[in-house]
């Protein structure tokens, strides 16, 4: 392999793929497709749909299973070992097509935002030339779906995780925070009377769900909707923007 393409594909809507992304898919000799464990959505089907939509003759696809992440040795150590394990799977999948010069991965959203692909790519040996093709992030899909600006005029914002919000509370020095990777409705740790929320699940997809309003008015509705949707689909991805009221 000479070149590795990390192609941002947006957040589940095949129309999120940019022309630059489609061109990169066509240039690939081999595309690696991740598969998650049973009961989780691996969205492999969506990746195949995208590939078939933008190619006449699809490139070779090589599937690999995403290993389980261990949390028993501390979060960061667990993530580091997990990245090593995924890099080994990539290496094995690439090894099935030694003639492939250009290898690609279709990365959910954009490779720069809460995504490990660049860190995993840095573990490959020998190192390929790595190129990133930007994609629409879940943050952009959320603000577009609600038709809201992400920031207030001239003001900063924080993008963080549910885990961080639970652990550290509301971030210092901002009125706006976007929360990702939150399986526990961590907005419940805040004083609900102080915030407005714009929440979305499956944003950009056919299943899209959106709720917004004063946090103390809609928090329970979000919890119930989220639990029902998760039970119905077997998986959920959600994201929300919180703004402190003036």
Interaction of residue 86 with ligand SAM, rule CB under 6 A: no
List 58, 91, 114, 174, residue binding ligand SAM (CB under 6 A): 114
Three-state secondary structure call for residue 48: helix
Query: What string of DSSP letters covers 178-223?
Result: EEES-SS-GGGGS-GGGEEEEEEESTTSTT-EEEEEEHHHHHHHHH
Task: Please give the helix or strand (H or E) that residue 130 lies within, else none.
Answer: strand 129-133
Task: Please give the helix or strand (H or E) that residue 53 lies within, else none.
Answer: helix 44-54
First to last CA, the chain: 54
Structure tokens at 157: 């914002």
List 62, 110, 160, 241, residue binding ligand SAM (CB under 6 A): 110
Contact string (CB under 6 A) for ligand SAM, positions 39-78, x = contact: ----------------------------------------
Interaction of residue 34 with ligand SAM, rule CB under 6 A: no
Other C-beta atoms closer than 10 Å to the C-beta of 60 total: 13
Residue nearest to ligand SAM (CB): 109
Tell me how far, at minimum, the Cβ of 13 lies from ligand SAM, in Å: 8
* Nearest to ligand SAM of 63, 114 (CB atom): 114
List 3, 115, 175, 194, residue binding ligand SAM (CB under 6 A): 115
DSSP assignment letter at 244 = E
Interaction of residue 238 with ligand SAM, rule CB under 6 A: yes
> Scanning residues 133 to 192, which ones bind ligand SAM (CB under 6 A)?
137-138, 180-181
Measured CA to CA, the distance from residue 70 to residue 73 in angstroms comes to: 7
By the criterion CB under 6 A, which residues form the site for ligand SAM?
11-12, 108-110, 113-115, 137-138, 180-181, 200-205, 237-239
């Amino acid at each position: 392999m000479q070149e590795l393409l990390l192609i941002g594909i947006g957040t589940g809507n095949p129309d999120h793929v940019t022309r630059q992304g489609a061109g990169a898919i066509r240039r690939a000799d081999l595309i690696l497709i991740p598969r998650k464990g049973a009961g989780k959505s691996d969205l492999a089907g969506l990746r195949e749909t995208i590939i078939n939509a933008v190619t006449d003759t699809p490139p070779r696809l090589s599937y690999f299973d995403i290993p389980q992440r261990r949390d028993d040795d501390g979060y960061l150590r667990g993530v580091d070992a997990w990245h090593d394990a995924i890099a080994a799977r990539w290496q094995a999948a690439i090894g099935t097509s030694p003639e492939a010069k250009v290898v690609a991965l279709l990365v959910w959203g954009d490779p720069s935002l809460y995504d490990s692909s660049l860190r995993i790519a840095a573990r490959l040996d020998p190192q390929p030339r790595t190129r990133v093709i930007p994609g629409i992030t879940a943050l952009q899909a959320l603000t577009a779906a609600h038709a809201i600006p992400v920031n207030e005029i001239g003001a900063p914002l924080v993008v963080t995780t549910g885990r961080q919000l639970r652990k550290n509370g509301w971030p210092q020095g901002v009125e706006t925070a976007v929360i990702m990777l939150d399986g526990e409705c961590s907005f419940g740790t805040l004083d609900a009377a102080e915030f407005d929320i714009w929440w979305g699940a499956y944003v950009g997809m056919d299943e899209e769900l959106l709720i917004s309003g004063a946090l103390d008015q809609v928090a329970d509705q979000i919890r119930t909707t989220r639990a029902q949707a998760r039970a119905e689909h077997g998986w959920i991805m959600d994201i929300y923007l919180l703004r402190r009221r003036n």
